[in-house]
Amino acid sequence: MPDPLPADLPARFYVTTPIYYVNDVPHIGHAYTTVAGDVITRWRRLFGDEVHYLTGTDEHGLKVQRAAEARGVTPQEWADATSARFVDTWRELQIANDDFIRTTEPRHRAAVQAFLQRVYDNGYIVKGTYEGLYCVPCEAYYTDDDLVAGNCPIHDRPVDHVVEENYFFKLSEFGQRLLDHYEAHPEAMQPEGRRNEVIGFIKQGLRDFSMSRTSIDWGIPLPWDPDHVTYVWFDALFNYCTAVGYGSDPERFDRWWPVDYHLIGKDILRFHAIYWPAMLMAGGLEPPRCVFAHGWLLVGGEKMSKTKLNQIFPHDLIADFGVDGYRYHFMADQRFGPDGDFSYESMVARYNSDLANNFGNLANRVLNMAVNYCGGIVPDRRADGPLREQAADTFAAQADAFARLDFASGLAAVWDLIRATNSYIEDSAPWALHKAGDADATADVLGDCLEVLRIIALLTSPVIPNAAAELWRRLGLPGRPDDQRLPAASAWGGLPAGNVLDKGAPLFPRIEA
Ligand code: MSP
């Protein structure tokens, strides 16, 4: 679709995370998606894009109702308390989300009801009787074939047998339209392996799904039949539209919809890649531009779960590694796609090698030498040596990788530049040049190294915003890296001669295991 806005206005970039269930408190799995969304949106802000980054909490449904009952509080009280934990965790991780949506907010209820009415009027919701097997933790129905040894394939626990009269969404009518959609827009479901999985599933034939409940009341009533509440997934998925003004601000909605990226874990692929686009089509709305499903973070080879007591919480790791150390680890350690295993030992090792040794030492060394050999100011000379070209290549490689949400490769390119700069220092030995009294040659080498530090601060700022801003300040630069504009700011030669340098304390003190 052609962009309706004039080309001189910033591009719009709308990214979402799943909204997290409030039956659980935030752990590193939730934070994984949320940090990734934060990194890609900070990156796009550097290019001057107008960004909207959304996260929030999913607060209706049987699972939440039961969690509240078990603690003797109302579902709303329970949701309020747990939702606040997510807000606090994202603040602690310095997530720069533009909105935080809760499905119990009045704005969401109004939007869902308006949308439901539209889909109902369009004839895609009909009444029927459902008999099936329900997994409460998944809030999803399964067939006998889906079960593994009689248990839910995701949670490995028994499912409930339920018979209910309720409303059905006619998903079965959307198989061909979905296949056509993914054929015309293969980029709409990534990575490719997941797309094939989705297409295979659609080809097996889609069945209508029950989209209302009478057995619980913790949900949004159907506007035409208030004895029924909306199935939690139908309600939850719509948050992505509510938040940008569906039903309340049509102009705003048109500006932001369709969304650019729904970032999700592979566990909720079918909901996002099949149910959701079909629901949107049924309501006359465009499907998402891209659903991107990443793998699971495993702990000791297993998925984290409350019952296995193997959950790890961001707060505990931030205490040891700092916010930047935390964010860097999860973005650099595993590719955003396949499953990956988390271990504390490898987090310590990566922190010490990448952040303390490579990044921190480079900054320390260069600033120290510039203070000792160049009087603590940026020299008015540069060698414009090999680092110049490598810095340009690094930016290009990172931009290419980040455009594919391949954060690990993008960061690897920046760390190659960091290592190359360390080697350049070894090879050109500015201490020897200084000792030999060659001030010009010393300034040439350090001029290049200082310029690399500026570029590195800029390129790493979406991931390690605090260290990047501090390095920026130590280079005597005004403002913060976040205020810069890429690609122009990545061009070689942006560090003004005469800037006063501050060598400061180590940016990433080593952690003893
Ligand atoms: N409420 C639904 C989503 C509704 S979206 C309209 C839900 N919530 S959840 O709390 O269970 O969170 C699911 C998401 O959290 C996953 O899709 C994934 O993005 C993230 N993760 C939860 N555990 C995870 C791991 N162990 N590893 C990686 N991500 C994980 O499903």
CA of 272 to the centre of ligand 1 (A): 12
Please tell me if the CB atom of residue 303 comes closer than 6 angstroms to any atom of ligand 1.
yes
- Residue 438, judged by CB atoms within 10 A of its CB (0-12, 13-18, 19+), counts as middle
Please tell me if the CB atom of residue 335 comes closer than 6 angstroms to any atom of ligand 1.
no
Tell me the backbone φ, ψ of residue 86, rounded to 5 degrees.
-65, -45
Nearest CA to ligand 1 atom 17: 265
Ligand 1: residue of 16, 24, 35, 58 to mutate (most ligand atoms within 8 A of CB) is 58
CA of 302 to the centre of ligand 1 (A): 15
Please tell me if the CB atom of residue 459 comes closer than 6 angstroms to any atom of ligand 1.
no
DSSP-based three-state secondary structure for 17: strand
Please tell me if the CB atom of residue 299 comes closer than 6 angstroms to any atom of ligand 1.
no
Q: Give me the pLDDT at residue 365, please.
A: 97
**Residue 238 · residue 108 · CB < 8 Å:** yes
Tell me the backbone φ, ψ of residue 203, rounded to 5 degrees.
-65, -25
Q: Annotate 413-429 with DSSP letters as a single string.
A: HHHHHHHHHHHHHHHH-
**Residue 492 · residue 450 · CB < 8 Å:** no
* Residues whose CB falls within 8 Å of the CB of residue 243, separated by 6 or more in sequence, listed in order: 16, 54, 56, 99, 101
Tens-digit pLDDT string for the chain (513 aa):
334 444 555 699 999 999 999 988 999 999 999 999 999 999 999 999 999 999 999 999 988 998 899 999 999 999 999 999 999 999 999 999 999 999 999 999 999 999 999 999 999 999 998 788 989 888 888 888 889 999 998 888 999 998 878 999 999 999 999 999 999 999 999 999 999 999 999 999 999 999 999 888 899 999 999 999 999 999 999 999 999 999 999 999 999 999 999 999 999 999 999 999 999 999 999 999 999 999 999 998 888 877 778 899 999 999 999 999 999 999 999 889 899 999 999 999 999 999 999 999 999 999 999 999 999 999 999 999 999 999 999 999 999 999 999 999 999 999 999 999 999 999 999 999 999 999 999 999 999 999 999 999 999 999 999 999 999 999 999 999 999 999 999 999 999 999 999 999 999 999 987
pTM for this predicted structure: 0.93
Q: Which of the following CATH numbers is that of domain 344-490: 1.10.10.10, 3.10.129.10, 1.10.730.10, 3.40.50.2300?
A: 1.10.730.10
For residue 24, what are the CA distances in angstroms to 20, 84, 95, 316?
8, 12, 19, 17
CA of 20 to the centre of ligand 1 (A): 6
**Residue 87 · residue 20 · CB < 8 Å:** no
* Residues whose CB falls within 8 Å of the CB of residue 40, separated by 6 or more in sequence, listed in order: 15, 261, 402, 405, 407, 462
**Residue 152 · residue 142 · CB < 8 Å:** yes
Q: How far apart are the C-alpha atoms of 167 and 185, rounded to whole Å?
A: 31
Strand-strand pairing, 291-294 and 189-190 = parallel
Q: Give me the pLDDT at residue 305, please.
A: 78
Q: Give me the pLDDT at residue 4, please.
A: 41
**Taken in order 408, 409, 414, 420, is the CA torsion positive or negative?**
positive
Q: Give me the pLDDT at residue 165, please.
A: 87
Please tell me if the CB atom of residue 363 comes closer than 6 angstroms to any atom of ligand 1.
no
Tokens of 123: 């004839």
DSSP-based three-state secondary structure for 164: strand
How many beta carbons lie within 10 A of that of residue 201, not counting itself?
16
Nearest CA to ligand 1 atom 6: 237
Nearest CA to ligand 1 atom 30: 29
Please tell me if the CB atom of residue 241 comes closer than 6 angstroms to any atom of ligand 1.
no
Please tell me if the CB atom of residue 304 comes closer than 6 angstroms to any atom of ligand 1.
yes
Q: Give me the pLDDT at residue 307, please.
A: 76
What residues act catalytically?
A: 27, 30, 135, 138, 152, 155, 303, 306
Nearest CA to ligand 1 atom 5: 18
The letter for the amino acid at 222 is L
